A and B are shown apart, each in its own frame.
Chain A
Amino acid sequence: MKKIISDIKLYKHYISINLRGMMQYKTSFFLSAMGQFLISFNVFLGIFFLFQRFSKVEGFTYSQVLLCFSILLLEFSLAESFARGFDTFSEMVRQGEFDRILVRPRGEILQVLGSNFELTRIGRMLQALVMFVYGVSKSGIDWNLLKILTVFFMILGGTSLFTGLFILQAGLCFFTLEGLEIMNIFTDGAREFGKYPMEVYGRKMLLFTTFLIPYSLVQYYPLLYILERRTSPLYVVLPLAAAWFLFPSLALWKLGVRRYTSSGS
């Protein structure tokens, strides 16, 4: 217990030092945040213009798609802000900075998490919020406590899932630095293609994203519940199940650290 309190205190200290450092470059911070906004804004424009031409995709309307996209984007940006240290871990390994982490008397995970907190992702979160508000106001959903809880669990489960993916990517750095681009399919790709409900990509993709990398648990199924196409309360807690993904990711990470300490590179 004492250790947990001290870990939390240290993590807060890490965040504060990251923020203080960032505030030294206000212009750069502002521009990066704007850049983050613009990248996702292009994706939004793509959806907007397609829906000028088409009224529905697989039975989902424009505002419903926006609702789906905004929640996923929020999950992704939250994970990216907090787990940025894992996302950029390949740089840390390349520059030998991981050695520094190993000569300090703290858990590696806490130190990597603390090494980088990326507030510029606020640009994306802002856009996600705007789309969310629009999606909510236009899709005519009858909100109740369970549905609000579902959205909350989606954000929680989704952020855990993406954090898990970043940890997985960092874990792979111990085995290959060259092949890392492939992880973009599952991180940036999910952000990019999570804009439409998973059903759009066909049945096989739905199965894949239910059981292997559980995007659908934080996107498609809870969306069905919110839109009242499904009624079982099981759908409310389903998003939390996506957090199981953290376990294999952490296992690979641990394996990677062991490999690093036995090979030194």
Chain B
Amino acid sequence: MKKYFSFFRLRFTLGLQYRVAALAGIATQFAWGFMEVMIFAAFYRGDKNAFPMSLSATCSYIWLGQGFLAFFATWMMDNEIFDSILKGNIAYELCRPIDIYNIWFSKSVAVRLSRAMLRCFPILLVAAFLPDPYGLAKPESCLHFFLFILTLALGLLVTAAFCMLIYILTFYTISPQGLRILFTSAADFFSGGVIPLPFFPEPVQKIMELLPFAAMQNVSLRIYSGSMETDEMKKAILLQLFWLFILIFTGKILCRRAEKKITVQGG
């Protein structure tokens, strides 16, 4: 545990060193959030009744999405891991007495956590002071805030487990590039990264909510502003746990098979 904490600290310090990069990143994400908010506000002006959730809840969704971008963006993958697979350095890692799935998984989580910690506070703080309904609203209630934190953590783990599948499938494919493109753009769309899931037509939304992608950012960002009923929340959290289990389970099995393949073929 101490090992992971010091790794996290190192990443965080590294992030701080590049202060201009951090500031530029924050500015970019802020601009992105702002433009998104303007788009939804324009649609809201056009037809208030067609809006599936309140404008304020939509804006909170957008700002939280920007604040925790590093948690949920599947395209932010660890190139070190890809390189170690493609260039064969993985052979060294296999020599060490550690479980490769666990070490990569915790590394991915640590990287995402440190990135988000560096960027989320300034973004969320500014967003909180924007005039209502365009800014980040207060959470619906204490309970909602608690559930938000819980589902945020679950969502992070699901995202990391999903990315693990992409890393591991690299072993099995001749074209990791194509696989990566396909998976990340599907994840971006189905997780509610392009538009929040409630904005999809009802039948489409029903199916999308069952997919593993909906267990990423969708749940926590919607729970925060109370746009989910109690039953929906229960179901969503159970689905998060279910997908987390399935993703890790498949990942571990595929990882073990890949390890065998490498040891047999000699890398």
In the complex, what's the smallest C-beta–C-beta distance from A27 to chain B, in angstroms?
6
In the complex, whether A144 has a CB less than 8 A from a CB of chain B is: no
Known: A49-B200, A185-B27, A189-B31. A196 touches B181 (CB 8 A): no
Contact of A45 among B27, B181, B194, B201 (CB under 8 A): B194
Interface string of B188-226 (1 = CB under 8 A from A): 110000110001110010000000000000000000000
In the complex, what's the smallest C-beta–C-beta distance from B82 to chain A, in angstroms?
15
Report the nearest B residue to A185, measured CB to CB.
B31
The answer on a CB contact under 8 Å between B175 and A31 is yes
In the complex, whether A179 has a CB less than 8 A from a CB of chain B is: yes
A53–B51 Cα gap in the complex (Å)? 8
Instruction: Please indicate which of the listed interface residues B35, B175, B177 has the most CB atoms of chain A within 10 Å of its own CB.
Output: B35
In the complex, whether A265 has a CB less than 8 A from a CB of chain B is: no
Of B16-24, B87-95, B108-116, B227-235, the one with at least 4 CB within 8 A of chain A? B16-24
In the complex, whether A24 has a CB less than 8 A from a CB of chain B is: no
How many A-B contacts at CB < 8 Å in the complex?
Answer: 101
Contact of A202 among B27, B31, B38, B43 (CB under 8 A): B38
Interface string of A44-73 (1 = CB under 8 A from B): 011001101111111000000000000000
Determine chain A's interface SS by DSSP, over half rule: helix
Contact of B194 among A43, A193, A196 (CB under 8 A): A43
Contact of A55 among B39, B47, B178 (CB under 8 A): B47
In the complex, whether A211 has a CB less than 8 A from a CB of chain B is: no
Interface string of B151-193 (1 = CB under 8 A from A): 0000000000000000000000001011001100100110000
Contact of B185 among A28, A38, A200 (CB under 8 A): A38
Could you tell me which residues of chain A, from 185 to 241, have a CB within 8 Å of some CB in chain B? 185, 189, 192-193, 196, 200-202, 205
In the complex, what's the smallest C-beta–C-beta distance from B171 to chain A, in angstroms?
18
In the complex, whether A176 has a CB less than 8 A from a CB of chain B is: yes
Contacts of B189 in A (CB 8 A): 42, 45
A189–B188 Cα gap in the complex (Å)? 17
Determine chain B's interface SS by DSSP, over half rule: helix
The answer on a CB contact under 8 Å between A57 and B42 is yes
In the complex, whether A129 has a CB less than 8 A from a CB of chain B is: no
Size band of the interface chain A makes with B: 35 or more
The answer on a CB contact under 8 Å between A54 and B182 is no
Known: A27-B175, A49-B200. A54 touches B47 (CB 8 A): yes
Known: A38-B185, A45-B189, A189-B31. A54 touches B46 (CB 8 A): yes
A42–B194 Cα gap in the complex (Å)? 7
In the complex, whether A180 has a CB less than 8 A from a CB of chain B is: yes
The answer on a CB contact under 8 Å between A189 and B27 is no
Interface size, chain B (Cβ < 8 Å): 35
Report the nearest A residue to B186, measured CB to CB.
A38
The answer on a CB contact under 8 Å between A34 and B178 is yes
Contact of B199 among A50, A181, A201, A205 (CB under 8 A): A50
Contacts of A142 in B (CB 8 A): none
Contacts of A35 in B (CB 8 A): 177-178, 181, 185
Known: A49-B200, A189-B31. A179 touches B38 (CB 8 A): no
A9–B194 Cα gap in the complex (Å)? 44
In the complex, whether A261 has a CB less than 8 A from a CB of chain B is: no
Interface string of A161-179 (1 = CB under 8 A from B): 0000000000000001011
The answer on a CB contact under 8 Å between B195 and A181 is no
User: Can you list 27 residue pairs at the A/B interface with Cβ under 8 Å?
Assistant: A27-B178, A31-B175, A31-B178, A32-B177, A34-B181, A35-B177, A35-B185, A38-B182, A41-B185, A43-B194, A46-B194, A53-B50, A53-B52, A55-B47, A57-B43, A179-B20, A180-B24, A181-B25, A182-B27, A184-B28, A189-B31, A189-B32, A192-B32, A192-B35, A200-B42, A201-B39, A202-B38
Interface residues of B (CB under 8 A from A): 18-21, 23-25, 27-28, 31-32, 35, 38-39, 42-43, 45-47, 50, 52, 175, 177-178, 181-182, 185, 188-189, 194-195, 199-201, 204
Instruction: List 15 extra interface pairs beyond A176-B20, A179-B21, A201-B35, CB under 8 A.
Output: A28-B175, A28-B177, A31-B178, A45-B189, A50-B199, A53-B50, A54-B46, A56-B47, A58-B46, A178-B19, A182-B28, A185-B31, A192-B32, A193-B35, A200-B42
Interface residues of A (CB under 8 A from B): 27-28, 31-32, 34-35, 38-39, 41-43, 45-46, 49-50, 52-58, 176, 178-182, 184-185, 189, 192-193, 196, 200-202, 205
